[in-house]
Amino acid sequence: MREAVIDGSAAGWRAAARALLADDVPPERVAWRVAGDAQGALALAEAPVASRSVDVPTARVPRRFLALTDRVACHRDDARWHRLYRALWRLTHGEPHLLQVRTDPDVRPLAEMAKAIDREVHKLHAFVRFREVAGDDGPAYVAWFEPAHDVLALAAPLFVRRFASMRWAILTPFASAHWDGAQLTLGPGVARPATDGDDAEALWRTYYAHVFNPARVKVAAMRAEMPLRYWKNLPEAPLIPTLLREAPSRVREMIEKARVAMPAERRTADSGSAARSPQRPVERNAARAPAPLDVDGCEVRVGTASWTDPTLLVPGLFYPAGVSTPEARLRYYASRFPLVEIDGTYYALPTAKVAALWAERAPEGFVFDVKAHATMTGHPVETAKLPRALRDLLPPSVAGATRVRADELPSHVQDAAWRTFLDALAPLSQSGKLGTLLLQFPRWFTPSAASADRLRAARERLHDWYAAGHLAAVELRHRDWYAPRLRARTLALLERLDFVHVIVDAPPGHASTVPFTPVATHPRLAIVRLHGRRTETWETPVSVVSERYRYRYSLQELTDLVPPIVDVARRVQGVHVVFNNCHADYGTSNADEIAAIIRRRDELRKSGGRNGGGR
Residue-wise pLDDT for 532-581, tens only, equals 999 888 888 777 777 888 999 999 999 999 999 999 999 999 999 999 99
The backbone torsions φ and ψ at residue 275, rounded to the nearest 5 degrees and listed phi first, read -80, -20
E strands present in 119-249? 131-133, 140-144, 168-171, 175-179, 184-188
E strands present in 372-466? 380-382, 403-405, 434-440
* Least confident among 33-42, 380-389, 601-610: 33-42
Instruction: Give the 3-state secondary structure of residue 178.
Output: strand
Q: Are 514 and 477 contacting, i.e. CB atoms less than 8 angstroms apart?
A: yes
Distances in whole angstroms, Cα of residue 434 to Cα of each of 36, 373, 462, 465, 469: 66, 16, 15, 12, 10
E strands present in 451-490? 471-475
* Least confident among 267-281, 378-392, 431-445: 267-281
Average pLDDT over the chain, rounded to whole? 82
Task: Note the pLDDT of residue 35.
Answer: 85
Tell me how far apart the alpha carbons of residues 425 and 128 are, in angstroms, rounded to a whole number: 45
Using CA atoms of 262, 268, 274, 280 in order, give the dihedral in degrees to the nearest 10. Answer: -40
Tell me how far apart the alpha carbons of residues 139 and 42 are, in angstroms, rounded to a whole number: 44
Task: Note the pLDDT of residue 165.
Answer: 75
Q: Please check the confidence at residue 226 and state whether its pLDDT lies above 70.
A: no
Tell me how far apart the alpha carbons of residues 230 and 240 are, in angstroms, rounded to a whole number: 13
Q: If we measure between CA atoms, which residue out of 243, 244, 324, 313 comes closest to residue 282?
A: 324
Tell me how far apart the alpha carbons of residues 285 and 371 are, in angstroms, rounded to a whole number: 25
The backbone torsions φ and ψ at residue 246, rounded to the nearest 5 degrees and listed phi first, read -85, -5
Q: Residue 36: left if φ>0, alpha if ψ -120 to 50, beta else—which one?
A: left
Q: Please check the confidence at residue 434 and state whether its pLDDT lies above 70.
A: yes
- The DSSP symbol for 18 reads H
Q: Are 235 and 129 contacting, i.e. CB atoms less than 8 angstroms apart?
A: yes
Using CA atoms of 449, 451, 455, 458 in order, give the dihedral in degrees to the nearest 10. Answer: 120
pLDDT confidence tier of residue 266, bands split at 50, 70 and 90: very low
Distances in whole angstroms, Cα of residue 514 to Cα of each of 228, 530, 585: 35, 12, 25
Q: Are 614 and 567 contacting, i.e. CB atoms less than 8 angstroms apart?
A: no
Q: What is the 3-state secondary structure (H, E, C) of 273-299?
A: CCCCCCCCCCCCCCCECCCCEEECCEE
Decide: residue 149, CB within 10 A, 0-12 exposed, 13-18 middle, 19+ buried: buried
Question: pLDDT (tens digit, 9 = 90+) per residue, 394-409?
Answer: 888 887 788 888 888 8
Task: Note the pLDDT of residue 538.
Answer: 84
Tell me how far apart the alpha carbons of residues 123 and 100 are, in angstroms, rounded to a whole number: 28
pTM attached to this predicted model = 0.57
| Domains recognised in the chain with CATH numbers | 2-117 (no CATH), 128-188 (no CATH), 199-256 (no CATH), 278-606 (3.20.20.410)
Q: If we measure between CA atoms, which residue out of 380, 414, 377, 419 comes closest to residue 395?
A: 414
CA-atom Rg of the chain in angstroms: 28
Mean pLDDT, rounded, for 93-103: 88
Question: pLDDT (tens digit, 9 = 90+) per residue, 324-360?
Answer: 999 999 999 999 999 999 999 999 999 999 999 999 9
E strands present in 180-224? 184-188
Task: Note the pLDDT of residue 246.
Answer: 55
